[in-house]
Structure 1
Amino acid sequence: MATCNLQLPEGIIAHDFDDAVQLAEALAAHVAERLRQAIASQGRATLVVSGGRSPVAFFERLANQPLDWAQVVVTLADERWVPSEHPDSNAALVKRHLLQGPAAAARFVDLYNPAASLEEAAEQTDRVLAELPPIDVLVLGMGDDGHTASLFPASPNLREALNLGDARRCLPMLAPSAPHQRLTMTRSLLASANHTIVSIAGPSKLDTLRTALKGDDVAALPIRAFLNPTLEIYWCP
């Protein structure tokens, strides 16, 4: 069994897996159970996921979980500012790999809108997210640079996006090393989730996470904003 050997603060739990298939299966089962609990207690559940290539196997396995999908709201922690027809659209990824079969009954809240500018798009999305039910489960990824959602180090709006006291739910974000402008949920909205999971794979991301755990400069490594008690970490080599 692979092990991440992290020195974790009290309350944070790490789950280690030998490969991405094992991780995806375990994560899907765990998330589905959390969603079932939310539906049982309040009649509905809200799931926020991350995009990119890494979560595809998780999405496909989650779609096959027995769940009252008609009572589930699904949305994204962040989105590239591209229409759903674009190959880099996170919304298209979710619809293609998660919202299939019975899971197609879930309600999807799209972050993208074709406004005249990125700033206007973020304002419109902010209003949409004002109507989002409380987040029951949040599944985040992380980049080698310590970004999560689209909270990128050195992005012009990062300070505002990380401010827990800021009322904004969505902000425009620029990824210094990525080709597309972004829309991201802010830290204040993401931190409101009842249950947060960070799912990562590979030794380089593990090294980044290990570095993040040793410091407290959130702007340098934004993943630090979510390394709080009750967090669960899913990792495989």
Structure 2
Amino acid sequence: MLTILQEKDTDLLLQRAARHLCQKLRDALAVHAAVNIAVPGGRSVVKIFDAMRTEALDWHRVHFFIIDERLVPIDHPDSNFGLLRDHLVTPLAREGKISPENAHPFILDTTATDRGTLAYEEVLAGQGFRYDIILLSSGEDGHVGALFPGHHSVTDPHHGFIVMDDSPKPPPERMSSSLSLMLTARTGVLLFTGEAKREAFKKFGDATIPVSACPARLVTGMKDATVFTDQIHE
């Protein structure tokens, strides 16, 4: 089922998205011993992390994975994992609410042809090789993670993590969850925030456009998907 929630005030919208995510985590924890949630980076996602910190739930049973990552070390300023660590996991860990080991970074290995993706797949395999919940934020072209429209990333048949040296969005070197891995999630939350995303949101709403042309549409294949957007048509 797909639900679209609209709110003109972007900050209020992101707070609603954070509360929604935490409720979905509680629902999943009610039936699973542990829950995997995969998250991206970005300014909007940082605000969601900040809001999630105030929510009460059993964080010790939640495991975080990174949807996509630039091919940089985890202490690099451009690291998506760094945003998750600094804005959610470390503050929760300081309060004894989560173990830092529950946040699983992608570790770049420049000596390996796979850049470290196989090792990351082994970590995910230890948690069931699936996502329970996935948070996505659409780009201006409708890309999510590092799956780009009309690009080999979105049609790559590999089930796991993929790397590329030709990302249409700089920097060109990126890692991403594959399409099939993202679709292991039962619950998806997708953000369309900012005027620059208006055209992408329009494409998302066109059922004739395939996922390969608008990767954000992958959430329409999930059992439970909610879109949060500040795109309001008067």
Structure 1-normalised TM-score?
A: 0.85
**Equivalent in the alignment of 1:8:** none
What residue identity is the alignment partner of 1:190? M
Matched, 1:32 2:25: no
Comparing 110-119 with 62-71, greater Cα deviation is found at 110-119
* Alignment correspondent of 1:129: 124
**What amino acid sits opposite 2:220 in the alignment?**
L
CA distance in 1, matches of 2:78, 2:197: 22
* Shift in alpha-carbon separation, 1:198–1:146, aligned structure 2, 3 A: same
Q: Deviations over 1:14-58 (max 9, x none)?
A: 111122221121111111111112222222222111112221111
- Give the conservation status (yes or no) of the 8 Å contact 2:14–2:48: yes
Match of 2:50 among 60, 63, 75: 60
| Contact 1:118/1:181 (<8 A) preserved | no
Question: How much does 1:117 deviate?
Answer: 4.5
Offset, 1:201? 0.6
Are the equivalent residues in 2 in contact too, given 1:73–1:109 (CA < 8 A)? yes
What RMSD in Å do the two structures reach over aligned CA positions? 2.0
Q: 2:163 matched to which residue of 1? A: 172
2:83 is aligned with 1:93: yes
TM-score w.r.t. length of structure 2: 0.86
Partner residue in 2 for 1:21? 11
* Counterpart residue number, 1:184: 176
Alignment pair present for 1:152 and 2:145 = no
Secondary structure of the corresponding residue to residue 15 of structure 1:
strand
Indicate the residue corresponding to 1:113 in structure 2: 108
- Structure 1 position 120, deviation (Å): 3.6
Work out whether 1:204 is the aligned partner of 2:196: yes
- Among 72, 80, 84, the alignment partner of 1:82 is 72
Q: Quick check: 1:213–1:227 contact (8 Å CA) kept in 2?
A: no
- Spell out structure 1 runs of 4+ moving beyond 4 A: none
Report the counterpart of residue 59 of structure 2 in structure 1: 69
Which piece of structure 1 moves more, 120-129 or 30-39? 120-129
Q: Output one character per residue of 1:172-205: Cα deviation in whole Å (capped at 9) or x when no partner.
A: 0331231241111111111011110101212331
**Correspondence for 1:7:** none
Q: 1:170 to 1:153 in 2, by over 3 A?
A: same
Contact 1:137–1:194 (CA under 8 A) maintained in structure 2: yes
Shift in CA distance, 110/209, structure 1 to aligned 2, threshold 3 Å: same
Summarize deviations over 1:186-228 as a string: whole Å, max 9, x none: 1111101111010121233132121233233322222222223
- Of residues 43-52 and 225-234 in structure 1, the stretch that sits farther from structure 2 once superposed is 225-234
**Percent sequence identity over aligned pairs:** 26
Equivalent-residue separation in structure 2 for 1:103 and 1:141 (angstroms): 26
List alignment gaps of at least 5 residues for structure 2: none
| CA displacement at 1:121 relative to structure 2 | 2.0
Q: Which residue is 2:217 aligned to?
A: 224
Deviation at 1:231, TM superposition (A): 1.7
Aligned-partner residue type, residue 57 of structure 2: L
C-alpha distance in 2, partners of 1:24/1:157? 28
Size of the alignment, in residue pairs? 222
